[in-house]
Amino acid sequence: MARVTDAPKVVTANRLQDGAVVWLTAAGTWSTRVADAQVQTDAPSAETALGIARASAARQEVVEPYAVDVVVEATGPRPLKTREWIRAAGPSIDAIPTAA
Protein backbone atom coordinates (compact mmCIF):
# COMPACT_ATOMS: atom_id res chain seq x y z
CA MET A 1 0.00 0.00 0.00
CA ALA A 2 1.26 3.47 -0.86
CA ARG A 3 2.61 5.54 2.02
CA VAL A 4 0.36 8.44 2.93
CA THR A 5 2.06 11.78 2.19
CA ASP A 6 0.83 15.33 1.69
CA ALA A 7 0.83 15.03 -2.14
CA PRO A 8 -2.64 15.11 -3.81
CA LYS A 9 -4.10 11.63 -3.90
CA VAL A 10 -7.02 9.57 -5.03
CA VAL A 11 -8.01 6.19 -3.66
CA THR A 12 -8.32 3.22 -5.96
CA ALA A 13 -9.03 -0.51 -5.81
CA ASN A 14 -10.23 -3.37 -8.00
CA ARG A 15 -13.89 -4.33 -7.86
CA LEU A 16 -14.31 -7.80 -6.40
CA GLN A 17 -16.88 -9.18 -8.84
CA ASP A 18 -15.09 -8.34 -12.07
CA GLY A 19 -11.68 -6.94 -11.13
CA ALA A 20 -12.44 -3.58 -12.76
CA VAL A 21 -10.36 -0.60 -11.67
CA VAL A 22 -12.45 1.71 -9.50
CA TRP A 23 -11.90 5.11 -7.88
CA LEU A 24 -13.37 6.41 -4.65
CA THR A 25 -15.75 9.34 -5.16
CA ALA A 26 -16.74 12.17 -2.82
CA ALA A 27 -19.96 10.31 -2.10
CA GLY A 28 -17.98 7.36 -0.78
CA THR A 29 -19.01 5.23 -3.76
CA TRP A 30 -16.81 3.69 -6.46
CA SER A 31 -16.58 4.87 -10.06
CA THR A 32 -14.77 3.29 -12.99
CA ARG A 33 -13.78 6.82 -14.17
CA VAL A 34 -10.74 8.40 -12.57
CA ALA A 35 -12.30 11.78 -13.39
CA ASP A 36 -14.93 11.02 -10.75
CA ALA A 37 -12.35 10.38 -8.04
CA GLN A 38 -12.25 12.69 -5.06
CA VAL A 39 -8.83 14.31 -4.71
CA GLN A 40 -7.44 14.27 -1.19
CA THR A 41 -5.19 17.24 -0.62
CA ASP A 42 -3.80 16.43 2.79
CA ALA A 43 -2.70 13.39 4.72
CA PRO A 44 -5.58 13.29 7.23
CA SER A 45 -8.24 13.38 4.48
CA ALA A 46 -6.35 10.74 2.48
CA GLU A 47 -6.26 8.52 5.56
CA THR A 48 -10.00 9.05 6.09
CA ALA A 49 -10.68 8.10 2.46
CA LEU A 50 -8.55 5.00 2.84
CA GLY A 51 -10.60 4.10 5.90
CA ILE A 52 -13.78 4.32 3.83
CA ALA A 53 -12.16 2.16 1.15
CA ARG A 54 -11.02 -0.46 3.65
CA ALA A 55 -14.53 -0.65 5.06
CA SER A 56 -15.76 -1.23 1.52
CA ALA A 57 -13.18 -3.99 1.10
CA ALA A 58 -14.41 -5.54 4.35
CA ARG A 59 -17.92 -5.55 2.82
CA GLN A 60 -16.44 -7.55 -0.10
CA GLU A 61 -17.07 -4.78 -2.63
CA VAL A 62 -13.46 -4.13 -3.64
CA VAL A 63 -10.02 -5.68 -3.27
CA GLU A 64 -6.78 -4.14 -2.00
CA PRO A 65 -7.54 -0.39 -1.89
CA TYR A 66 -4.65 2.06 -1.84
CA ALA A 67 -3.86 5.72 -2.43
CA VAL A 68 -2.30 7.03 -5.64
CA ASP A 69 -0.38 10.27 -6.19
CA VAL A 70 -2.01 12.48 -8.80
CA VAL A 71 -1.68 15.80 -10.51
CA VAL A 72 -4.92 17.73 -10.85
CA GLU A 73 -5.60 18.89 -14.41
CA ALA A 74 -8.56 20.60 -16.07
CA THR A 75 -10.06 17.20 -16.91
CA GLY A 76 -9.61 15.93 -13.38
CA PRO A 77 -6.97 14.01 -11.48
CA ARG A 78 -4.27 12.21 -13.48
CA PRO A 79 -2.13 9.56 -11.76
CA LEU A 80 1.56 10.40 -11.79
CA LYS A 81 3.04 6.92 -12.10
CA THR A 82 2.90 5.12 -15.44
CA ARG A 83 1.44 2.04 -13.77
CA GLU A 84 -1.44 4.03 -12.33
CA TRP A 85 -2.31 6.00 -15.44
CA ILE A 86 -2.38 2.73 -17.38
CA ARG A 87 -4.75 1.38 -14.72
CA ALA A 88 -6.84 4.53 -15.12
CA ALA A 89 -6.87 4.69 -18.91
CA GLY A 90 -6.59 1.01 -19.85
CA PRO A 91 -3.79 -0.63 -21.87
CA SER A 92 -1.74 1.82 -23.93
CA ILE A 93 -2.05 -0.48 -26.92
CA ASP A 94 -4.81 -1.41 -29.29
CA ALA A 95 -5.85 -4.41 -27.24
CA ILE A 96 -7.84 -6.12 -29.96
CA PRO A 97 -5.70 -8.00 -32.52
CA THR A 98 -6.38 -7.54 -36.20
CA ALA A 99 -9.47 -9.61 -36.84
CA ALA A 100 -9.80 -12.11 -39.62
Q: How many residues bind another protein (CB under 8 A)?
A: 28
CA angle 54, 57, 62 (to 5 degrees): 125
Kindly state whether residue 19 participates in binding another protein, applying the rule CB under 8 A.
Answer: yes
- Stretch touching another protein by CB under 8 A, among 1-9, 48-56, 70-78, 82-90: 82-90
Kindly state whether residue 7 participates in binding another protein, applying the rule CB under 8 A.
Answer: no
67 sits in which H/E element: strand 62-73
Kindly state whether residue 93 participates in binding another protein, applying the rule CB under 8 A.
Answer: yes
Kindly state whether residue 59 participates in binding another protein, applying the rule CB under 8 A.
Answer: yes
For 47-71, letters b (16+ CB in 10 Å) and e give eebbeebbebeeeebbeebbbbebe
88 sits in which H/E element: helix 82-89
Interface with another protein (CB under 8 A): 14, 16-21, 57, 59-60, 63-64, 80-83, 86-87, 90-93, 95-100
